[in-house]
Each structure stands twice: as structure tokens, then as C-alpha cells.
Structure 1
């Protein structure tokens, strides 16, 4: 957000009106939450049928009794369904339990403890471990690499994906072991990585032989329109480029069916899956196949997944539209903010006048509107500009969003006025 573009004269002229609006907001007794991208109750209702599945038939189409132990890689039929959805061969897909975050944590934890299949030594005994983090990015990704003591190196997100000049330069360092990505409808920007950028990521030279890109396709089918995005088979691109083990490809049903009670998927090269399986087979004796069969029966096929996602789009799209409408109506004339207008995913990223994001969160909290903390989209929760905020429109009703977003806009304007007056004094 460029300071020189702000309509300072108009903003200061409207100070009394904006201050009065904030005082009215404080007196409204609000308790509204825009902090996390949780599905609404309406969205969760789309999958209520799952709670009655698989009924009294516990035998999979291939004749497996899903109530018993084993089958580390998950039900073959569900792996085929998800492979068709993502354009990946079923033998490169593992179906696990509910959380892809758990799998991502395991992959990094096991690389630290044992080294992965391309590691000369466990990461824990390396002199230093670094990780590339496109920003703004997903806070739970950053929390994992923070926990393991990685030095997190930020690169800016562009309209086509991470800044590849910066990524290529950083990846030359042998201490750089990997990179986070959310390739489709990224959290929080909504950016989708282009095929050209995906190709560059597959082909680029890296200093570390065990360099990995976490390709977290959490929002692969989470469209807000009638169109589903292309899911790029980066595993194939990497194999063709001579780097077959580069990508750890993640996906899940967490925001498709029931959050926390779905199925997670891990897709990768055979060598990566073999390495993962050797350790996972000691950690446990197979995933929850009863739940996997329930999902298989519920979806039927990959088109069944898309049918559910069209219902989600019908619920979410009006909310995103309303948020954008209010941002335009309340803020555009002052030029105090810029925001993304995504075609999918769960978030809207807002960039404010530098030095005001924390104050906006504080003002909103005092008025009963909870926002994700300033800095949450950056490693260590430190946004050097204190300018980025993430909005999550999914949980509130349209009426609640109307109130919350008008309140948010008022806080943005008031914080900008405070900053301009402070800088001028």
C-alpha cells in the first residue's frame, strides 16, 4: 500500500464522521469472528449423510473388511477416486486419516530425526536448516518449521506464484531444505501458481540433494465460480525434469466434508512413498478405513466431489461478494487499502498503510470484532511492514458479515487517520 496514493485530504476531512462511526460500533455490543477459515454450519450440513455411512456394509468393493487392521496406504478405490480428481495415478497416492497437516508434520519431523530418502544425514545434525516461505502465507505451515528451528526465508508472492528469481537464488544454498506452497487459491492471497512457475520449481537446481517442496493442495477444488481450476501434476513435471522426489503433494477432504473427520491424501514419487511407508508402518497399523469407505460411498466418484463443491461455492460465493462490495464502497475513495478478489479458497488478503495492521486488530477487538492477528501470515508472526491482514468470510452469516466488514472498514480508516496524524506531528 503506497503512502503517496492515499487520499489524505478526504480522509482527514471525514475524521469526525469516521470517529463517530467507531464510537457507535463500540456501543453495539458485537461479538463477531473473522479469524479462521472454518466451514459454516450450512456447509457442514452438506455432509451430514456421512454420519450414517457406511451403514451395515463394511466390505469395500474389492472385498476388504474395513473394520480390521492393515492396508497402510488406504482403500484402493478411494485412492483411485482422489487420483482421478487430482490427475495423479492411484499408485502414487496414499489415503490416510483426517489431517494433511499431521502428514506434513510427520514428513518434516522424520526428515529431522532420520533424514529423508535423499538425505546424506538427518536434518537434526546438519549445521543449519533453512526453509523458503512465500509471504503472505499459511500460519500453520510456518508454525511447523518454526517448531523445528528452521531459519525461515521469505519470498514475495506474485500474481503467478512465488517470486522465482528469489526462490532460485535461495535454493542454491545447501542448507535450504525445502519450501512451503499452497498452489491453488493460496492462503491467504487466493493466488494460483501457473504451470510455468510449477515447471520452474520442478526444474530448478538446488544445493541440497534432499530439497523438498510441500505442495499443499488444500483448496484444489474449492472454487467460488462454476469453473474448477487445472490441477497440475507436478509429480510428472518433476520426474521429467530429473527431480522425481522433489514434491510432497498434499490434499484432504477437511473443508469438503466434515472438518477434522475426513481423509487426508499424500501423493509423491515411489521412492518418497516407500520411505514414508517404512516409518508410518511402525507408527501405526493402518488408517481409519471405515471412514474412508464412508467417504467412498458418499462421493461415489470424482464428479461426486465436484457436486459437493458446487454446493460449497453456492454458500461461500455470496459472502465473498459481500465482503468485496463493502471494501470497495467504504475504502476505495480513500486508497488506504488493497485487497485480493479470489475465485476460490477461504480467504481475502488485505494490505493496509504500513504500520497500521496491528492497530486495526486492536480497534476491532475493542469494538467486538475478532480478526486474525497482524503478522499471522508471516514467519514468526512478524510482518516487517505491519500491513497485511487475512479475512475469513466463511463462518458468519451474510448479515453478520455486513456488520463485521463495515466495522472493519471503520477501523481501517481510523487507524490510517491516527498514523497520518502521528507521522505529521
Structure 2
């Protein structure tokens, strides 16, 4: 297959004409496919419907300790749910606070608390002249929205194949006291699917921050979201590594069941040192008398234990895997060897990251939309929505059916080819 960059102008024009005919045929089908957000599909949601039958009017509503989940109490979550989340996040139960349905809300609260009341007694960030966060890119747009909302300056940190550029992370964290945090998705990273290496995790734990209130925001959203049973990524536990390195309070870990049960009715948790837990609870006692304990009880009775949770996730993987492979197969068959894009085959998580030729991402996304395929906006995977190369596109295969993903992938590769041809013709 001849590379586009090696083609003459006439060859490119001839190819473009043929591809445009295909593109117009796809447009004429009037498709309406959405790959913009990582929403579980209908079949995935159906897996958890039995959970709604775990509690009814005749159910015993008490926890294992005898507390009535219908009433006040258990500020940090019922014991059995704290244990389930601790097992999922591979930490001790005493390191866990269980919240409501959204880990994003917990992350927002954590930044907000730091802004107004500081970190464990340090100066509130709102009283400082400058506050900075490091942002591995491409990354999760909602992380960036939180820090942007609070007026925190964001600094791009390139992602390598094994995680963030740690030389750059160490340079900023260890020498600049205005750097107060870093966003991380360590396993099956959003959107690249990259898994942090053991060395990267341990270098994080061994940081020597110039700021005493520096924190690692470790969003372990996909900690058990494997796609392949025989290729499950494992990484060192950041809380354990921080404790070994003499930095026991440096990390906050976040997770939820949003993509395990029901996104609107899951449970979330923060895992951190007991010192951090006690400081957080001081604010939590003012904010709430407790989160939805009936939902926590429902989750624990449905899964029973971590083995039940893992078995449930294998069912998710069976549904998701063909959708991911539909996209990746289209890339392999249609784009390999053309040198007009690159991608990584993720082994878990919810996204596929595609890097087009520089300056082509916005055009590809717009062309896809005109053909009935909605993608995450180009630039969304960078702070302030500004991809300096206009190259990265995040693909979310979870919500459409396999057949829809095949149709959407066909349109996507057509748009990649056409946008790439135009780039070479304009050169």
C-alpha cells in the first residue's frame, strides 16, 4: 500500500475523488451514531438490573453491624460497602470513605476543599498568588474542567508509552512550590489506554515536592475494567508505595461503580491515608449527614464480595471487547502502512485514542459529524480544549452496538483518509 506522502498530486486527487464518492454514499444513509462519551450500553446496564431486587419492602434494611440504612449514620459509608470498595481499590478499609454515585463529584470536592480550607492545615489555595496543576496529555477532559473552573493554571505533561514524562513531573514538583497537584488515570488511561509502569508509579511515590500540600489525584476509574481475561494489567498500589517512600499523605485515589452498575446510581469512594481521611471527614460532617446507604447496601448484597464484582466485570468485558475490536480492526485493515495516523490497542478501560496528522483532528471530527457520527470534540483531551497539534481524537466504543461501531469506524477511516489527502494537497 503506497503511503500518501509518497503520492503525486494527480494520484492524491484521483484517490480523493473515489473516497468522496464513498463518503457521499455514507452521508446518504442518514446515520445517527454517538461515540462522544464513555457511556455503558444497554446490554451492560441490563447486567445490574437484578440489583434492584435485592431490597424491597420485606427486606432487612440493617447492615452487618445492625445499623438501619434508612436512617442517619455511617458518615463514611456502611462497613460492608467500605470493604467492597477497599478490595476493589486494593487498599485497607480504614483508608476508605464511600460517597454518592460520582467520583467526579468527589474530585471536585477535594479540589474545592483545598481551595477554601487548604490541605491538612496548610494555607488555603485561594489565598495564594498562584496555584498550578500538572496535566498528562492527552487526558480526561472533566479533570481539566475542574481545575479550570477554580482558576488553577494547567501545565501539559506529555504521555509516554509507560505513563507521564516523569523527568518533567519531577522537575516541576520538586522545584516549584506553586505546583499543588497532578491528575492521573494510572490504569487504562483516558483516552490512550496506557498503563503506568511499575517504575513510573514508584517515581510518583518518591517525589520530593517543594510544596508541602502537593497531592497526586489518582483517578483509578478503570482499576477492574479489563477487556481480556488473560491480559489484565496490574500496577503497584500508589498508597502503599507512598507510605514506603515516606510520603504517606501524598496521594488521593478515586474510583466508583459508575461503569460497573448504573452511572447515575453507583457508589464512589476516595482512598487515602488515615490522616487525610480524618481531615476530609471534618468537612464531610458539615456537608452531609451521610450518603445513600440503601444504595450501598444494595450494591454489597448484589456483589457479595470482590469475587462477585470481578465475575460481573468479565460479563462487561464480553460485551465491550467486540466493540473495541470493530474499531481496531478497521484501523488495522484500512490505515496500517499509510502513515496518516497512529493508535494504541487498549487492554481495558473505555476509550481508544487516535492521533491524526497534525492539523487534521478538527476536520476529521467535523466530517464525521456531517456523516452522522458524533465524536468527542477535537481538543477536549487537552487543558482549555486546546490541542497544540490538533491531532488527538478520543473514540468511545461502549454505547453503540457492534454493528453500529463497524459502520461508524468505516466513516471514521474515510474521514481520516480525506483529511490527510487535503493536508498533503495543501502542502
Aligned match of 2:379: 375
- Out of 137, 161, 169, which is 1:159 matched to? 161
> Structure 1 length as normaliser, TM-score?
0.96
**Following TM superposition, by how much is the alpha carbon of 1:15 offset from its aligned partner in structure 2, in angstroms?**
1.7
Q: Determine the structure 2 residue equivalent to 1:292.
A: 296
1:242: Cα distance to partner? 1.4
Match of 1:38 in 2: 39
| Paired position in structure 1 for 2:135 | 133
Once the two structures are superposed, residues 270-299 of structure 1 have per-residue CA deviations (whole angstroms, 9 ceiling, x without a partner) of 111111100011001011110000000000
Kindly indicate whether residue 112 of structure 2 is the aligned counterpart of residue 109 of structure 1: yes
Within 2, Cα distance between the matches of 1:232 and 1:289?
31
User: Which residue matches 2:424?
Assistant: 420
Is the contact between residue 33 and residue 370 of structure 1 (CA under 8 Å) also seen in structure 2? Answer: yes
Distance 1:208 1:118, change over 3 A: farther
Instruction: Quote the residue 2:219 is aligned against.
Output: 216
Residue 397 (1) aligns with residue 398 (2): no
- In structure 2, list runs of 5 or more residues that go unmatched: none
The unaligned stretches of length 5 or more in structure 1 are: none
Mapped partners of 1:11, 1:268: distance in 2: 56
Helix, strand or coil at the partner of 1:72: coil
CA RMSD of aligned residues (A): 1.3
1:159 deviates by: 1.2
5 Å-filtered alignment, 1:253-332, equals: 253-332=257-336
2:196 paired residue number: 193
- Give the conservation status (yes or no) of the 8 Å contact 1:58–1:66: yes
SS of equivalent to 2:329? helix
CA contact (8 A) 2:95 2:274 kept: yes
* Structure 1 residue matching 2:336: 3-state secondary structure: helix
Superposed CA offset, 1:234-278 (max 9, x none): 112111211111100111100001112010011000111111100
Contact 1:35–1:370 under 8 Å retained in 2: yes
| Stretches of 4+ aligned residues off by more than 3 angstroms | 4-13
Which residue number in structure 1 is paired with residue 19 of structure 2?
18
Are positions 1:59 and 2:35 aligned together? no
Count residues with an aligned counterpart: 419
The structure-2 alpha-carbon separation of the partners of 1:13 and 1:329, relative to structure 1 and needing over 3 Å to count, comes to: farther
| TM-aligned CA deviation for residue 12 of structure 1 | 4.9
Q: CA deviation at 1:357?
A: 0.3
> Is the contact between residue 72 and residue 290 of structure 2 (CA under 8 Å) also seen in structure 1?
yes
Shift of 1:13: 4.6
Distance 1:104 1:232 in 2: 22
Cα separation, 2, equivalents of 1:323 and 1:118: 49
Give the one of 348, 353, 358 matched to 1:354.
358
Contact kept? 2:376, 2:395, Cα under 8 Å: yes
Query: 1:87-127: per-residue Cα shift (whole Å, max 9, x none)?
Result: 211011111111111110001001001111052x1100101
Normalised by the length of structure 2, the TM-score is: 0.96
Query: Contact (CA 8 Å) 1:188, 1:347: kept in 2 or not?
Result: yes
From 206, 223, 245, the counterpart of 1:241:
245
CA distance in 2, matches of 1:402, 1:7: 29
